Chain A
Amino acid sequence: MTALWGAVIFSGFYHGINPGMGWPLAVSSALMERNHRALPKALLMLAFGHFLAMIAILLPFSLMIFLVEWELQIRLAASALVIAMGIYLLINRRHPKFLARVHPARLALWSFLAAMAHGAGLMLVPIYLGICAIAPDDTGHLAAQALMSSNVMTAFAVAAAHTLAMTLAGGIIAVVIYFWLGLKFLSRTWFNLDLAWALSLIIVGLFGAYSAYYGH
């Protein structure tokens, strides 16, 4: 269980350092407004959008999982979906063009769409389902209603913990570049994570499938 929560936090850091999830926007907001207060404000909006994207993906699964007898199938299907997204991103290495049509001031919307386009929420699904998979002994005693509401709570907790870690990681990079290193480091710290990202989805999906089979 600790390892799974660790994975939630770790994936948050991982998303946070990816420039594709928006930390350069926090730097540019503060620079454009010539006011360092714009930086935390931008980070907050980005975090809000990211959180919504996580919830949008996790909630449907939390509602589904009360079908306890289908748990294995659901987890396998979820894993397959994550792996498919990874393979899609591996093959289609093009940038999502529609992001270019979002108005620069709509940071939360941008963050939501960016997370969706990159399958950021999907990366959490196998971990989340792992956390929800309660020891089989317990499930018998719990009413479906209670199980569902507990899973919804878990979905919010997972999304919140993940988003917090993401904001922290991205925020640290943005603050360090804005206050100390300067814009020159913006391009220097910008690594192409596309390949690593796609592979991460595949690995997380494989892990999900594995733990669904042998997890307990």
Chain B
Amino acid sequence: MNLRPDPTFHASPKLAMQAPIENYAFTVMLSPDGTQSDGIAVIDLKPGSDTYGQIVHQVIVPNKGDEFHHFGWNACSSSLSPLSGHAFLERRYLIVPGIRSSRIYVIDVKEPLKAKIHKTIEPEELFAKTGYSRPHTIHCGPEGIYVSCLGGGGEDGTDGPPGIFIMDCETFEIIGQYEMDRGKQDKHYDFWWNLPQDYMVSSEWGLPPQFENGIVPEDLLSNKYGHSIHFWDLRARKNIQTMDFGENYQMALEIRPAHDPTKSYGFCGVVVDTTNLQGAIFTWWRDDDGVWQSKKTITIDPRPEDPANLPPLLQGFGAVPPLVTDIDLSLDDKYLYVACWGLGEMHQYDVSDPMNPVLAGKVELGGIAKGEKHPNGKDFVFGPQMVEISRDGKRVYWTNSLYSTWDDQFYPGEEGGQMVMADVGENGGLTLNTDFYIDFPKGLRAHQIRLEGGDCSTDSFCYPSV
């Protein structure tokens, strides 16, 4: 407990943008076959530092086979909420779930170079207290720490629907299920919210048997992955509207609401449209009658390719699908970054008008049947995937792995973990920084990135930018 609010808590997105820049990044390192322990890499981002752009510390966990994926903070700018203010919490712990093991680590990063495990929650405790498994997205909010889970109970996670559970933000005790009325929601992936407007939006990937051992082509072609998003009354814990994008819009994944809490819109990325292999972004918004609406505002076309160059999974299509696997919105709600993991491209859209996004910048790197090299001459395995934007919006970081078994299907025979950074131009545009290129330790892949002091996919703000 502090006597004053943590200096990394900001009332509005604008204040967060004006704050000092990030000194460190924390990036997930995962062992794709479980032969090594997973960990968190601490990366030096202090400009001018001798070790800039290098892994300066690693927290390696004692277990194997956790498969780290997403993670988040114990506390963020939402702690300044005028309603449920926990202003004196410290942004100090990273909550790191293993999606394969359902084990959760709480890592103390108060001193980034001495980061260490603070607490471990064993899978049995999670199963017993929540009925959920495969914990994934973390957000800190009004009632504590919210964790979305991809699986329900039972061995294969299909015994009951998956959902969100709440964890105490001080003791890290699991409190229990979040939902009181889940409506039609039967799959889960991402979620985020607008705290003053009291709504939450959640999305769907698929059930554990549909992803754990790799993508199931029959399920994809018969449109059995998630294609709906759900709108919730956040505090009443009730699903108030389920919006089906259409069953061909397979895997509605990342939810990115506008950061400014006066705005009632956001975006959702769809991995693949099974009718034409396009990737798509939907803009969702609340209309004047309070009903949620959505419209497809970005489509990205597949690239025709000689089947001989394609992995077996894609040979029948003779094309490389864009595979929109991650999106991220800058704190000023101006630029939406879209990772096309299949094509090997990172797109930057100007979404000042959220209904009419305009492509403002693009970087080509990696990609299926392409393998575009980094401008520094080195290889970039797989394609651009988990993307994170600095608070000031000037630097965009990303890594390359999607999910162990899926990497192996879309990029068979390739191996490696990389993290790169691109600079954002004064008026948009995206250029890879030749000095920033991290090759992860052998046998480890890279996934989500968190920036010290918060970033564009962690902090929820309770006051508008004025």
Tell yes or no: A101 within 8 A of B by CB.
Answer: yes
Interface size on B, residues (CB 8 A): 34
Q: Is the interface of A mostly helix, strand, loop or mixed?
A: helix
Given A97-B144, A103-B235, A190-B87, A28:B2 Cβ within 8 A:
no
The reply on B463 being an interface residue by CB < 8 A is: yes
**A94 adjacent to chain B (CB < 8 Å):** yes
Q: Is the CB of B463 within 8 A of A28?
A: yes
Beta-carbon contact of A27 and B463 below 8 Å: yes
Complex CA gap A104/B88 in Å reads 21
Residue A91 at the B interface, CB < 8 A? no
B308 within 8 A of A: no
Quick check: A95 and B84 within 8 Å, CB to CB?
Answer: yes
| Chain A hits for B159, CB < 8 A | none
Cα–Cα, bound, A198→B438 (Å): 51
A102 within 8 A of B: yes
Which residues from chain B contact A190 at a C-beta distance below 8 Å?
A: 4-5, 80, 85, 87
Contacts of A110 in B (CB 8 A): 83
A191 & B3 in contact (Cβ 8 Å cutoff) = yes
Of the residues A22, A34, A194, contact of B82 by C-beta under 8 Å: A22
User: A37 within 8 Å of B by Cβ?
Assistant: no
- Distance in angstroms from A197 CB to nearest chain B CB is 13
Q: Say how far A114's CB is from chain B's closest CB, in angstroms.
A: 9
Report the Cα distance A104→B143, complex, angstroms. Answer: 14
- Which residues of chain A (141-192) have a CB below 8 Å from chain B? 182-184, 186-188, 190-192
Residues of A contacting B198 with CB < 8 Å?
A: 103-104
B462 touches A28 (CB 8 A): yes
Instruction: Choose one: A22, A32, A95, A103; the contact of B464 (CB below 8 Å).
Output: A32
Is B51 interfacial (CB-CB < 8 Å)?
A: no
Identify which of residues 352-397 in chain B touch chain A, using a CB-to-CB cut-off of 8 Å: none
A121 interfacial contact with B, CB 8 Å: no
- In the complex, the answer to whether A187 meets B235 with C-beta atoms within 8 Å is no
Alpha-carbon separation in the docked complex, A25 to B12 (Å): 14
Measured between alpha carbons, how far is A187 from B10 in the docked complex, in Å? 8
**Partner of A183 from B12, B84, B86, B87 at Cβ < 8 Å:** B12
Q: Which residues of A contact B142 (CB under 8 A)?
A: 100-101
Docked-complex contact A28 and B235, CB < 8 angstroms: no
- List A contacts of B122 (CB < 8 A): none
Cβ of B291 within 8 Å of any chain A Cβ, yes or no, is no
Query: Is B261 touching A32 in the complex (CB atoms < 8 A)?
Result: yes
Given contacts A20-B85, A192-B88, contact A187 B9 (CB under 8 A): yes
CB distance from A97 to the nearest CB of B (A): 6
Within 8 A of B (CB), among A66-123: 93-95, 97, 99-104, 110
Question: Which positions 166-206 of chain B face chain A at CB distance < 8 Å?
Answer: 170, 195-198
A31 contacts B by Cβ under 8 Å: yes
Write the nearest CB–CB distance from B258 to chain A, whole angstroms. Answer: 13
Could you tell me the distance between the alpha carbons of A59 and B198 in the complex, rounded to whole angstroms?
35
Interface of chain B, main secondary structure: loop
Distance A168 CA – B2 CA, assembled complex (angstroms): 27
Q: How far is the CB of A80 from chain B (nearest CB, A)?
A: 28
Measured CB to CB, the closest approach of chain B to A47, in angstroms, equals 16
Q: Which residues of B contact A183 (CB under 8 A)?
A: 11-12, 15, 463, 466
Q: Smallest CB-CB separation from B6: which chain A residue?
A: A187
A31 proximity list for chain B (CB < 8 A) = 262, 463-464, 466
Q: With A28-B196, A102-B235 known to touch, is A184 a contact of B82 (CB < 8 Å)?
A: no
Contact A186 B11 (CB under 8 A): yes
Say how far B168's CB is from chain A's closest CB, in angstroms. Answer: 8
Q: Across the two chains, which residue of chain B brings its CB closest to A94?
A: B170
Could you give, for residues 1-44 of chain A, a 1 whenever the CB lies within 8 Å of some chain B CB and a 0 otherwise? Answer: 00000000000000000011010110110011010000000000
Chain A contact-residue range equals 20 to 34
Q: Which of A20, A100, A102, A110 has the most CB of B within 10 A?
A: A100
Q: How far, in Å, is A162 (CB) from chain B's closest CB?
A: 22
Closest to B83 in A: A104
When the two chains form their complex, are residues B143 and A101 in contact, meaning their CB atoms are under 8 A apart? yes
Contacts of B195 in A (CB 8 A): 104
Q: Roughly how many angstroms separate A24 CA and B81 CA in the complex, as a whole number? A: 8
Distance of A30 from chain B, by nearest CB (Å): 10
Residue from the list A94, A104, A184 in contact with B11, Cβ < 8 A: A184
Contact check, A24 vs B143: say whether CB atoms are below 8 A apart. no
Q: Is the CB of B463 within 8 A of A186?
A: yes
A183-B466, A187-B5 in contact; A25/B80 too (CB < 8 A)? no
Known A-B contacts A25-B82, A28-B463, A184-B15; A100 and B170 likewise in contact (beta carbons under 8 Å)? no
Once bound together, how far apart are the Cα atoms of A190 and B464, in whole Å? Answer: 18
Report B-chain residues with C-beta under 8 Å of the C-beta of A24: 80, 82, 85
A188 and B417 CA atoms in complex are apart in Å by 41
Are B463 and A97 in touch, CB under 8 angstroms?
no
Given the known interface contacts A28-B462, A187-B80, the answer about A101 and B235 at a Cβ–Cβ threshold of 8 Å is: yes
Chain A residues with CB below 8 A from B464, complex form: 31-32, 34
Contact indicator B84/A192 (Cβ below 8 Å) = no
- Given known A28-B196, A34-B262, contact A93–B1 (CB-CB < 8 A): yes
**Contact indicator B86/A97 (Cβ below 8 Å):** no
- Closest-by-CB residue of A relative to B143 is A100
Tell which of A28, A97, A182, A184 touches B143, judged by Cβ atoms closer than 8 Å: A97
Contact of A19 among B9, B87, B144 (CB under 8 A): B87
Residues of A within 8 Å of B236, CB to CB, are 103
Residues of chain B within 8 A (CB-CB) of A102 are: 83, 235
Given contacts A32-B196, A100-B84, 19 further A-B pairs with CB under 8 A are A19-B82, A19-B85, A19-B87, A28-B462, A31-B466, A32-B261, A99-B83, A100-B235, A182-B466, A184-B11, A184-B15, A186-B11, A187-B5, A187-B10, A187-B11, A187-B80, A187-B87, A190-B85, A192-B88
Interface residues of A, Cβ cutoff 8 Å to B: 19-20, 22, 24-25, 27-28, 31-32, 34, 93-95, 97, 99-104, 110, 182-184, 186-188, 190-192, 194
- 19 sampled A-B residue pairs with Cβ under 8 A: A27-B463, A28-B82, A28-B462, A31-B464, A32-B463, A95-B85, A99-B83, A183-B11, A183-B12, A183-B15, A184-B15, A186-B11, A187-B10, A187-B80, A190-B85, A190-B87, A192-B2, A192-B87, A194-B1
